[in-house]
Structures are given as structure tokens and as C-alpha cells.
Structure 1
Amino acid sequence: MSVTSEFDEFAERLRRNQHELGRELRLQYDFIVCGSGSSGSVVARRLAENPNVSVLLIEAGSSDDVPAVIQANQWPLNLGSERDWGFQGEPNPHINGRSIPYSMGKVLGGGSSINVMVWARGHKQDWDSFASAAGDPAWSYDSVLKLYRRIEDWRGTPDPDYRGAGGLVFVEPAPDPNPLAPATVNGARAIGIPTYETPNGRMMESDGGASITDVRARNGLRESIFRSYVYPYMDRPNLTVLTEALVVRVTFDGKRATGVEIARKGEMLKIAACLEVVLSLGAIHTPKVLMQSGIGDRADLERLGLPVVAHLPGVGQNLQDHVAFDCIWEYQESLPPRNTMSEAIIFWKSRSELTCPDILICEAEVPKSTPENAARFGLPSAGWILLGGVAHPRSRGRLRLSGRDPLDPVRIEANVLADMDDMKTAIACVEFCREIGNSAPLRPFVKREVMPGTLKSAELEDFVRNAATSFWHLCGTAKMGRDGMSVVDSQLKVYGVTNLRVADASIMPRITTGNTMAPCVIIGERAAEALRTDYGLAASRHELT
């Protein structure tokens, strides 16, 4: 039998199995995992590896079996589609009263099915800060590095000290990149930024550097976390994947989580969890569901007439994101994008005295900008950008419920650039982008610099405020820690209640350096490890190797 025939046979077996499991939905499961993104998919898979455990994985979106998801170079087509939650931030006085749009995945695989497929592990100091906040060395960089090596299937130059082989997570350097990408790396070197073979490894222990990007795509096809972790187990009787189901609240018996209430096909259903509920809905919907379930700031809940299950004022607070700024050049001679359209990445410091990078820059092979700056500067028909960002913003935002109805939209007060130190870092970042973009290695690709050009002082600040947009790396809204604003402990258990955990970017005490998909996989692995330990579930054979 050919590989194609085997794949088709498995897909049909999987389809039939999930159809039957969905048609005969149980009243209760051992575990309910809410959200099939980069953390939830990991948790569901690891729990389902024990055949004696029943797992329900709930996803508000639908199938990922569409070209815009599968084809790596079609990812922009997901933005604004039915696979995008399409959140909108509140008007922000710090960015000239503008509202930033926030795309998040509403599809099997969550963000890992619509993102740019960048694999960035996070800096050593990020993970050590997690360990310090949690009071648990299992979150330290040394511990996390071992886990990364265990789960990776690295296809670049072998590096056993930092990279793994044979794991579930296929990763490779962007193959045969657009010539613009190595020129960007060389441009960074030309202004004094060191270069590395990979952004993961030694570069994540250093002051920063530049490298060809590590990507989660193979032969032009996306490798979502859902496809890597959950899909191979969907022919099994103990894993039910329920799509088009919106989790509206967690149900409780006193302080004990008993299950979830979901909206599906015009009906409200209650499904029980014999053991635990895990929220992996992302940094917007996880705190929203917590608040709708009575977990949050007492005064805010009571004002909306919601019963208070646990007073946790940190729910919805500590909102962070990598705020981004487009710097654009017109091509001397147009080159078609390759791979994921973004193939070079830079982490660097805006000031020499810093101990880790505070600037993030991604090369992208298409021109884009905010409506405000596009109207002012214009967009070339053929161009490329350096998308700069503040890697560790000081500004903090928050989320608030707009009403007690679960279908009422959440208010996103991102508050980006509220701290003037972030503006200073943003300006330094834009200046680094200009230095790199106008350096000798990139001159063959430049007809002209489109924006920002030689703006200074107040004009440059105004450019930054009008350029500010999102890397779509929202996190921190149900943070892990031990202070009064923490929501979960080191085992990701929600304080003040039992049988409820959070496993997604919400739990990050601070945002990681770079894209957040890889850290979310680690968060899912840690949550699964804690659940297996607490309930005496055997680790999988993969985990033991």
C-alpha cells in the first residue's frame, strides 16, 4: 500500500471515529480541555496517551482542512476570515486614539493554524523569571531546555547540546530562503549584531543576535501543533474532538469545578468533568471565561451581577503583547516570497547595559502598514519590511467584561506605549531597522526607503504611534506566581478553587522574547506532566525516551 493510500485510509478512519464520538457525546469525561491551540492540543494528546482516560477537546472553530491553513504561504488569507476571532482593542490615547486589531485562531490548532509558523523558544532570562515567579525550578531555563530537546524533531545542523531529534515537533531553518533573508542577517552583522546558525540555542542565552528563522513548515505545508499532537490520536476511542462549540463558563459545586457549559448549534449543553477542566482558550478568552464563571475581581463581578466563586483580582490584568512597527523599503527588483514569507529574525538590545534583548525584528517579504501610515507614505506595489517590536514592554493592559451575557464582547484595553520607556525602546528599534535596511548587504534589494525615512524627535514619535500594531502575542492575563495578582500556581492550578487549571499564554508572568507558539507548547507539556503526576497516569513511551 502506498503512503498516500495509508494516509487516506487513516483520514477516513479518523473521520468516522470522530463522527461517531460527536454523535454520541457523553454526559461526562475524565478531562475536559477547552481550546485546541498550542497548549490545549498538547494537554489533550498527553492525557489521551493513557487509553484508560477519556478526554474531550473543545474548539469554538471548525476544521483546519482548508488550503489557507495547510499551505504555509497562504497564512495571510486567514486574517479576517471565519478562522480569526478578529478582536478589536479599545481606542488608546497613547497611539493617537487608534484601535489595534488582534487576530487569534478560531480553528482546530488555534493560533498555530493561522500564524507565521515561527519557532522561538524564549530567552534564558524569560524562563528563569518564570521559575522565580512560580517558586519552582521546573520552569527554569535548564529544565525547559531539556524538554525542548525531548519534543523537537530538529532538521537543521545537528546540535545535541541544544536540539532534539525524533520528537513530535518538526522544526527546520527556513529552507532555500529568499535572498533577502540572508542579506538581512548580513545587514545585522554589518551594524555589529552577531549572527548565529539558529535563533534557538546559544542565541537565546546571549545578548541577542540575528539568524535565519526556525519554522514549523515542511515542504511548503504548515505543521500546526494540533496536527503534530492531536491528529494522530483522533482514531482512538478515548479522545473526542468537538468543534463549533463555544465554552461559555465553567460549572462549579461550591469551589470544585465540575465541568463546562457550551453553546453549540443553537443549544446550551452542560458536560461534566470527573477529574479536571483545563482552560487553554488563549489570553483573551481564558480570562473572559474565568470571569463569566465567577472567578475574578469581586467588585467587577458583583457590578455585573455575576456570582463570585473566587476573588482573584489578577484575572484579566497584566495584559502584554509585542507591539510592532512596520519599516518599509521598495524593491529594486521584485522577488517572490518564499516559505512563510518571513525568514530572518533578530533579537537585540536597545541599550548596552541591558542583560537580555529588548528588541525584536522580523524580516517579511511583502509590504504592509497601518491605514494611517499607508495613507501618509503610500505602499509600494513591490516591497519588503522589517517589522520591529518591543520585546519586553513595561506597559500593561487589562481585559474587562462588557456585560454579563457570555456572548457580550470582551473589552481589550491594551494600553500599549503607556510607559515612556516603551516609546524610547520603540524609537531605538525603528532606528535599528533603518540601519539594517539601509546597510550595504541590503542595498541590492532597495530602490528607496518608503517609511519612516529621516524623521526625528516628535515626528518620529508620531510615526511610531501611528505604526503601532500587534505581533498577536497577547499573554499574561491569568499569570502564574505567588503574589496577590497571581491567578495560577506553579502547577497551573487556579487559586481558590479545585479541579481547574489554565494552560496557555495567559499564565506567562512576562512575555517571552520572540514568538509565543513554542513557549505555549512548553506550557502545555508542563500542565500535562502535572496532571499525570496528580492522577497517577503513566507517562507515554515518548516521554520516557
Structure 2
Amino acid sequence: MIGSGSGGAVVAGRLAAETDANVLVLEAGGTDQIDAVLNPLMWSTNIMSERDWGYMAEPSDKVNGRSLILPMGKVVGGGSSINVMIWARGHKNDFDFWASETGDEAWNYENVLEIYKRIENWQGTPDDTRRGTDGRLFVDQVQDPNPIAPAFLDACGTVGIPAYDDMNGEMMEGEGGAALANVRIKDGMRRNIPSDYLWETLKQPNITLLTGATVHRIELDGTTVTGVTFEKDGEVMTVGANERVVLSAGAINTPKILMQSGIGPAAHLGEVGVEVKHDLPGVGQNFQDHILAAGCVWEYNTPLPPKNSAAEATFFWKSDSSLDTPDLQPFQIEVPYVSEVHGGAYEVPAGTWTIAPGIVRPQSTGEVKLTGANPEDPVSIDGGFLKEEADLTALTRCIELCREIGNSSPMAEFVKREVMPGALSGEDLKDFARNAAGTYFHESCTCKMGTDEMSVVNGSLSVYGIEKLSIADASAMPRVSTGNTMASTVIIGERMADILIG
């Protein structure tokens, strides 16, 4: 198992607990048992720290020449150890699309819903149709929220967005709505995915977790996987794999490792001096991420302290009523959130709060490529952000919607003044959007499931043309799920475990 994140921890933990397989988990990062991971309000201190791979997209004129950061967890638990702890299942239509792309009905919403019900220990409003209460994964609604969060739900009602008791229930089977966030926070502490899949299992003799182990490549005999070469404490070593290697290194490192191993687009591998072992043109293509713009900001009348992870309320809605699925997901954030451009252009005082506009059904895609044949050579990442005009249109509509909500009467008691952006339109609004655009840190889709020539894995998550190799992380998504991607990545891990265990 390469990676211990939201997909890898699930597969490794279940295989070790439910079979007699010997499982080795290789994790490039270190321990998750530190305050920066465990304290929900400290999540942002992990970004660009040693617990983050530190990736950045190449500069793009679509975001006014900016290079957007792409945080990826380099720590036990991967993204589930550095994210904002939001448990967002995805929309019904996401999984029905995955099923249609793969030709495998096991991915449809009806079947995925049964997995969610099996694994969840839901603490919120009971819903026997959609929520499970006996599973291993503790999921709760934010507790004792900052009063600005329920006010935000009332404010959404002023623009026609209905409020729901549960962001993952009926709301995500239809047109969308507003809700307090589902979170992975228990007794004031983060619950990352290993806490529920790995830690008890690691007491068993048939599973080993190696931290500080950076994978260089997958070893092949022809097109059959024989093992993995990795580096730990300055020593390069190879370990054999009798049954299977499962790649769960994330949507940047999974294609990187495949290409370093000679599995990927033959022309590109030849350009960077990698011997081609198997021509698989889709590796590294179809990069997707959600846009989160920073942001629409107001000054508090009386500053209030942030609660939980400081992001407690959200909505899913459509930028265009003709869409089949909500494409917008802003978050109300209880602290100032501004880009590096607007931090200098606007005077943003400390006692401010934000509604961050978000796009969760982007049309734009990018790619991940190698720059050389050596493992230490950096990757080049074209994020594709706002490449398609439809995404810029959706983002500007979302900014307008967020301003309308923030300036509505239910928010008035929390507003001294609007700090940014103010009433912009036309090219000025588009320019603000390009300077505000960041990402939700939901990198995905670079080794997509499917049946076309650009697909990397089939519906069973096996890599095309390579024996004994599977992928179980967000890179396998054919299209990024609607909302924060931790939960849908756990579903990929659960499906992988079900397939391997039989």
C-alpha cells in the first residue's frame, strides 16, 4: 500500500483486519499525533509546512499570472490530517455518472449509499433512509457553532436557497440547499481516517506502517508488478509484492509514481528520459480541482471567536437553473480569507469574516507531467483553473450571490461594513475573480476510471495493461465529486477493499 490517506488507510486497515494478508503501508510523511493535526482550529498551520508536499500549479494568465498552491497531505492520514474536516458525501448524480463512465453499476448512488450507511456513525438528525449509526466513522454536525453560522442559513433563505438539517441527506439528492457542516470532529479533536481504520489494526502482526518512506517507482517484470522501490532515512531499498500493489498516493503523486515507473503517455515519458514500460496515455491527464475564491469579506460589528474548524456553514446551489447538479459551494468562514493579491489591494482588519465563493463542478481540466527521469525531479502541474469561460461565469455569479447573502438582513447584526469586493460588474468583477481564485485542495481525476482510451483504471480500480496494480485514491475519480472530497475518497477505498476481499 502506497499512501495512508483517505483511500489508503481504508484499504490497508480492512485488508489487515479482515484477511490474513501481510500488508505493508509506505507513507512518505511522519506521525499525525501532533497538535497541528489534532486541534481542529490549527488546520491552516499545516499548509506549506513539512506536512504538505508543497505543490504549486504553474502560473496561468487565466488567474492573472498567479501560481496557485496545491496542498497535499504528507503525513499519516494524508489529506484527512490537514483538511478542514468536512464530511461531504457528494451528490447523487456524481456516483450515477461514475457508474455510467465505468459501465459498473456497483458505483451508482444506490450502492454507494449503502456503503455510506454501513460505515457511518452519524450523530445528527436521524434519517434511516440515508444515514447509518452503527459504523466506524464518527460524523457529527458542528457543535456549539458561532452564531454567525445559523444566521448564514437564514440569509441563504433570502435568495431562495432552503435550509436543511443535514448537508448529506435529502439535500444532496436534488437541487441543493444550505446547512451547517458535517464534520469529523469528536470531543474537540480531529478524527482523521487512520483513527478509524488503521490504529487498532496496527496492533496486529500482519500489518506494518513505515513512515518517512518515499516511493521512487513500482518494479515490473514485463507488465507484472513485482515490488516497490522506496527511500527511507537516505537508504534506497526494494520490497517485493506477492499479490498486489495499491497506489493511494493522491492525484499528483500517484501519476508521478506511475510515470517514474514507465507507465504513462509514451511520448511524454520519452521526452523526459523515462524508459516506457507500458503506454497509458491518460496518466496525469484530466486534473481537476474545485475553485475556492478568497473571498467576500465583512468586518464584524463585534468580533466573535471561530468555532470548530472556523468553517461551519455552507450551501450547494446552481449558477444556472438548467444544470442537473449544484455547481456552487461557498463556505462561510469565521476569519478573514483573502488572496495574496487582495491582501495588499484592500485594507482587511483582523476582526472580519468571509463568504468564500466556490465552484464544485468545474469544466476546466489540467495535467500533471514529469520534468525529468529522477524521483527528485519536480512535477509540472497545469491546474487548468478558469481555463473554460463557463467556470469564470459560474464564479462571478457565485461572488454576486455571496455578496447578496452577506449583505442581507439576517447578517446585519454581524456587519459593520463590507470590506471587499463591493459592487463590481463586467470586466472589473472578472478581474477580481481571477485574483481571488484559489483551490479547495481537492486535487483529483488524474488516473480516471472509465472505458475510453484516456482511462487509467477500470471499474474494479485495476490499472489497464498492468497485472497486480490498483489505484484507490481521488485520482481514480472520472469527474471530481460535488463537495469536499474526503468522503468520496473513502468510498473509493471501501470499494477497493470490497473488491480485494471479495
Distance 1:251 1:448 in 2: 60
Q: Is residue 2:304 matched to residue 1:335?
A: yes
Q: Equivalent of 1:352, from 313, 321, 324?
A: 321
**Counterpart of 2:5 in structure 1: which amino acid?**
G
How far, CA to CA, are the matches of 2:328 and 2:471 in structure 1?
Answer: 29
What is the CA-CA distance between 1:259 and the residue it aligns to?
1.1
Contact 1:368 1:379 (8 Å CA) reproduced:
no
In structure 1, which of residues 183, 196, 209 is the aligned counterpart of residue 177 of structure 2? 209
Match of 1:487 in 2: 456
Question: Residue 358 of structure 1 contacts residue 392 of structure 1 at CA under 8 Å; is this kept in 2?
Answer: yes
**What is the aligned counterpart of 1:387 among 327, 331, 356?**
356
Partner of 2:490: 521
The residue matched to 1:359 in structure 2 has which SS? Answer: coil
Counterparts of 2:383 and 2:302, CA distance in 1: 39
Paired position in structure 2 for 1:465: 434
* Contact 2:36 2:46 (C-alpha < 8 Å) held by counterparts: yes
Do the aligned residues in 1 keep the contact of 2:125 with 2:166 (CA within 8 Å)?
no
Alignment-derived partner of residue 54 in structure 1: 22
1:96 maps to 2:99: no
- Are the counterparts in 2 of residues 328 and 383 from structure 1 also a CA contact under 8 Å? yes
In 2: Cα distance, 1:74 partner to 1:166 partner: 29
- From 177, 191, 196, the counterpart of 1:228: 196
- The aligned runs of 1:253-292 (5 Å cut-off) are 253-292=221-260
Q: Given that residues 445 and 474 in structure 2 are in contact (C-alpha distance below 8 angstroms), is that contact kept between their aligned partners in structure 1? A: yes
**Do structure 1's residue 364 and structure 2's residue 346 form an aligned pair?**
no
Is 1:309 equivalent to 2:277 in the alignment?
yes
Residue identity (%): 50
Among candidates 103, 106, 120, match of residue 74 of structure 2: 106
- Secondary structure of the structure 1 residue equivalent to 2:152: helix
Q: Deviations over 1:220-254 (max 9, x none)?
A: 10000011110111111001000000011110011
Distance 1:53 1:476 in 2: 29
* Residue identity in the other structure for 2:128: P
Q: Deviations over 1:84-130 (max 9, x none)?
A: 11111101111111100111111000000010000000001111000
2:219 counterpart SS class? strand
Q: Which digits, 9 at most, give the CA deviation of each residue in 1:130-163, with x for residues without a partner?
A: 0000100100001000000000000112111111
Matched to 2:249, the amino acid is: L
Counterparts of 1:370-449 in structure 2, within 5 Å, are 370-449=339-418
Aligned to 1:542: none
Asked if the contact 1:104–1:472 (Cα under 8 Å) also holds between the matched residues in 2, the reply is yes
- Contact kept in structure 2, 1:41 and 1:230, CA below 8 Å: yes
Cα distance between partner residues in 1 of 2:271 and 2:70? 27
- Secondary structure of 1:385 counterpart: strand
C-alpha deviations, 1:407-443, integer Å up to 9, x for none?
Answer: 1111111121111011100111111111111111111
Secondary structure of the equivalent of 1:328? strand
2:187 match: 219
Residue in structure 1 matched with residue 13 of structure 2 by the alignment: 45
AA aligned to 1:143 is: N
SS in 1 for 2:18: coil
Change (3 A) 1:114 1:493: same
AA aligned to 2:335 is V
Counterpart of 2:125 in structure 1 is 157
The one of 131, 138, 158 aligned to 1:170: 138
Query: C-alpha distance in 2, partners of 1:377/1:288?
Result: 39
The answer on whether the counterparts of 1:51 and 1:238 sit within 8 Å (CA) in structure 2 is no
Distance of 2:318 and 2:423 partners within structure 1: 22
Unmatched 5+ residue regions in structure 2?
none
Shift of 1:51: 5.1
CA distance in 2, matches of 1:288, 1:295: 10
Superposed CA RMSD in Å reads: 0.8
Alignment pair present for 1:125 and 2:93 = yes
Q: TM-score, normalised by structure 2?
A: 0.99
Partners of 2:273 and 2:69 lie apart in 1 by: 29
What SS is found at the alignment partner of 2:164? coil
| Aligned partners of 2:364 and 2:385 also within 8 Å | yes
Q: Which residue of 2 aligns with 1:540?
A: none
Distance of 1:48 and 1:391 partners within structure 2: 35
Q: CA deviation at 1:50?
A: 3.3
Q: Does the residue aligned with 1:98 lie in a helix, a strand or coil? A: coil
Q: Secondary structure at the match of 1:248?
A: strand
- Does residue 246 (structure 1) correspond to residue 214 (structure 2)? The answer is yes
Q: Is this contact kept in 2: 1:198–1:212, CA < 8 A?
A: yes
Query: SS in structure 2 opposite 1:441?
Result: helix
**CA offset digits 1:284-326 (Å, max 9, x no partner):** 0000001001111001111222111211111000001111111
Matched residue, 2:468: 499
Q: Which amino acid aligns with 1:171?
A: V
Return the match for 1:141 from 77, 100, 109: 109
Supply the distance in 2 between the matched residues of 1:480 and 1:460 (Cα, whole angstroms).
37
Q: Deviations over 1:350-387 (max 9, x none)?
A: 11111110111111111021110111112221111111
How many Å separate the matches in 2 of 1:124 and 1:235?
Answer: 37
8 Å contact kept, 1:332–1:447: yes
- Cα distance in 2 between the residues matched to 1:50 and 1:443: 54
Preserved contact between residue 40 and residue 309 of structure 2 (Cα < 8 Å): yes
One-letter amino acid matched to 2:135:
G
Verify the 8 A CA contact 2:445 2:475 in the aligned structure 1: yes
